[in-house]
């Protein structure tokens, strides 16, 4: 299985072209779209998409992420083997949030042009480098054939919530199409706390207690819950919390502990 | 073949994650997207999409529909076997318009947690219940293994056109991306009537006679025809009838018989 | 492999229905979406998408393009075999830009109704003609079984750049989701010219020299380069050149030679 995450959108044929290149090399590849509607050049959003998705795929899945404003410059192209899956993308941090506590098994700079499309364009490495490398990798070519091992690569800052007496302060890290606000406050950060008696604050909104599911509230009410990605989420039942609060990624969220 | 119809959109990775779960269980599953751009929580729109689509798929196709504002509450998760295909979704009516005259072969409440992802989240049953059940069903697990048989489930009202002397009164049930207005007046409702001499009225628009295809009109003209789903449709040739008329789902449409 | 290019969008189930029809006939078909977000009835945009994509697919790939305002009228349905791939679509020019210097191997009017869905609607030939013909073609049915050979078909004008002393005048032919402006000035048109000293003019914008990649510029700066499709492109680094210039398809672009 090969997954694709890009900011290419759905109007242009760029994603389809990458699939054509993959299928030309490995006709048996299974290709799954994660998202192509990442805002143009929003490396961080793509990185969160990847982090929240890779655990649900079969072992040995190859995940390509192409959000790449520096394409064609000296930024490197990377293959990172992490636990039992592979990550392919530019060395601009887009792969880095998918790496959690453990170190990667192996990181490779994709310098071996024998596995690139020729001629290699300066503006579409998704087609000319990442798609063919993914296809050859899916055929069993060993990771180190694609280039030399690297030790360091660009890592995005992972915002940790700050804990003080009576308060956990986090921030919004992702907003989904329903307007649900994902925070960086993980389920584990709330372990042992009395969920019913917590107060969640974002902007002028105050929500009393964590819910088990959206439907606990009346229509339009705000609700806070641990969502399916395991993080604290603020939602509005049958409504759009982002539109209601005008909150943006990076905005502070506080949890008050009684 | 497994099809997916959701209101998850194309920006977030939720659809891709469901595919990852399916392929983790059945690597040979063929997955087809029907639509993921259902308006958030528009159960009726998803129900029409399903009704107008399932006849075109191979026998034994499994159709998943997830438009599910009540996810995590006490609403049940259903598997309905209807004729030679399977429908999976929440018990909120989203599956019900796909059922036409005949009774379902079998309806099952998906209560057997052995086929759910563990832990099962309260907010993403698409990933944790419907995707794995579909995958196991595609591997041949019998329907009744997933839970107990149910006799009743939520059914959306199916708006029937009203017929009186000289008039058939129906309504708009779906509007496609071209702005074409689908009505609930079926081809059979017009059987035996003189198509050339009917008058179709919607809002302030009056259209004389049914056309065979869009191109009968001049550019911008309104045209009424029996569309590819077998229902009366109002379109504007090379234009957008919805934008021109500002019509919405539920708006009345009249057919005058001379 | 079968690819799909349409103006059907992602909200309605029309694309999924075509896939259902294909898989009902050939369960082993691999289907790839090129784009379904072509502006409604924009035959030229679909024709460019096809031209810029087909070279990246395996031999024997079947490309379906359905942008078809004349569906159901007397316009013909075509199968064109060009080099080692197949093109299927209405005879309105949508296939014609994919044909480059060489003549097609064979062109067929899809008149043999034995390979059409019955009954054949007047409004959805994607489902009733192109999908089943593609599926049978992928099973090995010979091209001439689908109808009779034709010699002529509708061809869109291919705008050639005009060259005079010191100037090449072309035009914008396509604008991608990043707002990058594709022109009809091909890499070959600039052969032997001093790329560093050319000046590219579009509207009030003047760009000195061609870049190797986007990142050469400062954020927001305009940049001209030969893009991954081999044509002169005007972009704005980490910005949207279309929004900045308000340029549209058809607008003139000049290259001044020192």
Alpha helix locations (H) across A26-89?
43-51
In terms of CA atoms, which chain B residue is nearest residue C124? B228
Which one is predicted more confidently, B100 or B231? B231
- Determine whether the interchain pair B3/C21 forms a contact, defined as Cβ–Cβ distance below 8 Å: no
pLDDT for C219 equals 83
Mean pLDDT of B211-227: 85
Contact B200, B174 (CB under 8 A): no
- Label residue C195 by pLDDT band (50, 70, 90): very high
- Mean of the per-residue pLDDT values for chain C? 94
- Label residue C69 by pLDDT band (50, 70, 90): confident
pTM: 0.94
Q: Which residue ranges in chain A fall short of pLDDT 70? A: none
pLDDT for B71 equals 84
Give the separation between CA A132 and CA B112, rounded to whole angstroms. 43
How many helices (H) and strands (E) in chain B? 5, 16
- Label residue B74 by pLDDT band (50, 70, 90): confident
Contact B6, B63 (CB under 8 A): no
CA distance B73 to chain A (A): 6
In this complex, the chains that touch B, judged by 3 or more CB pairs closer than 8 A, are A, C
Q: C interface mutation test: which of B32, B61, B217 has the most C CBs within 10 A?
A: B32
CA distance C120 to chain A (A): 29
CA distance B32 to chain C (A): 6
Q: Based on C-alpha coordinates, what's the Rg of chain A?
A: 20
pLDDT for B100 equals 77
Q: Based on C-alpha coordinates, what's the Rg of chain B?
A: 20
Give whole-number Cα distances, C94 to B3, B165, B215, in Å. Answer: 29, 47, 17
**Tens digits of per-residue pLDDT, B18-28?**
999 999 999 99
| Residue B216: pLDDT over 80 | no
- Label residue C209 by pLDDT band (50, 70, 90): very high
- Please give the span between the terminal C-alpha atoms of chain B, in angstroms, as a whole number: 47
**Tens digits of per-residue pLDDT, C109-141?**
999 999 999 999 988 999 999 999 999 999 999
């Amino acid at each position: 299985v090969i997954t694709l995450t890009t900011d290419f959108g759905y109007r242009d044929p760029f994603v389809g072209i990458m699939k054509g290149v993959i299928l030309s090399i490995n006709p048996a590849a299974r290709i799954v779209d994660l998202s192509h509607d990442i805002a143009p050049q929003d490396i961080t959003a793509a990185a969160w998409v990847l982090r929240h998705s890779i655990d649900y795929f079969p072992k040995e899945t190859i995940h390509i992420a192409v959000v790449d404003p520096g394409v064609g410059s000296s930024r490197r192209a990377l293959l990172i083997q992490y636990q039992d899956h592979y990550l392919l993308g530019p060395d601009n941090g887009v792969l880095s949030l998918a790496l959690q506590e453990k170190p990667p098994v192996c990181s490779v700079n994709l310098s071996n042009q024998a596995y690139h499309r020729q001629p290699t364009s300066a503006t579409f490495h998704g087609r000319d480098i990442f798609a063919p490398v993914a296809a050859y990798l899916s055929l069993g070519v060993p990771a180190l054939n694609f280039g030399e091992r690297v030790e360091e690569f660009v890592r995005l800052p992972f915002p940790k919530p700050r804990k003080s007496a009576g308060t956990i302060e986090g921030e919004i890290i992702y907003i989904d199409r329903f307007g649900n606000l994902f925070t960086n406050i993980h389920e584990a950060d709330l372990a042992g706390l009395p969920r019913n008696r917590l107060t969640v604050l974002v902007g002028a909104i105050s929500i009393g207690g964590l819910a088990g599911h959206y439907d606990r509230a009346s229509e339009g009410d705000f609700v806070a819950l641990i969502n399916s990605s395991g993080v604290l989420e603020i939602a509005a039942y049958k409504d759009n919390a982002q539109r209601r609060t005008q909150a943006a990624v990076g905005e502070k969220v506080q949890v008050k502990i009684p």
